[in-house]
Amino acid sequence: MPERDLFHDAVKNALVKDNWTITHDPLIIQFGVVQMFVDLGAEKIIAAEKAGRKIAVEVKSFVSLSPISEFHTALGQFLNYQVALEEQQPERTLYLAVPLDTYRAFFILPFTQAVVQRYRLKLIVYNVVEEVIVRWHE
C-alpha cells in the first residue's frame, strides 16, 4: 500500500467531525489488473436519501517546495481515480482534500482555478490544526 499523506489523519478526523462515516481507509479500486488506492472512502446518511451519499477523498498535504509539482501529481491521480470510480463505483463522488493555507496561496491563482474548473475538480478545504473542513468546493 502507498504511504499516507502527512495530513491523512487530520482529514479523516475532519470528516468524522462533519458527521461522515469512514467506510474505507484506503478505498481500493480494482479496474482490470490495475489496482488503485484512494486515501479515504466515506458515507453520510441523509434523511431524505435512503442510500445516503458516498464520497472518495484523495488527501494532499502540499508541503514540498514546489506546489505546482504536487499539483501535477494530485491532478494525475484525481483524473485516474475519477475514470476508475465512474466505471467501478459510480455512486461515489471524488474529492481532492487540500490544506487551507495551500488553498489560499495556490488554489486562488488564475492557472490553478482554470484547471480546477476545466477538469471539474471537487475540493475539500481543511484546517490542519483544528482538523475541520472549512469549505466544500463543488
| C-alpha radius of gyration, the chain, whole number | 14
Question: Considering only the top CATH level, what class is 8-61+69-137?
Answer: alpha beta
What pLDDT was estimated at residue 96? 98
Answer for the pair 51, 92: CB distance below 8 angstroms, yes or no.
Answer: no
CA 67 to centroid of chain Cα atoms: 16
* In the block, residue with C-alpha cell 475532519: 14
Return the percentage of the chain with pLDDT > 90, whole number: 86
What is the percentage of the chain residues whose pLDDT exceeds 70?
94
Domain ranges across the chain = 8-61+69-137
Strand ranges inside the chain, DSSP E: 21-24, 27-31, 34-38, 40-46, 49-59, 92-99, 123-127, 132-137
Write the pLDDT tens digit of every residue in 15-55.
999 999 999 999 999 999 999 999 999 999 765 555 578 99
Taking only the tens place, the pLDDT of each residue in 96-119 is: 999 999 999 999 999 999 999 999
Q: Please name the amino acid found at residue 113.
A: Q
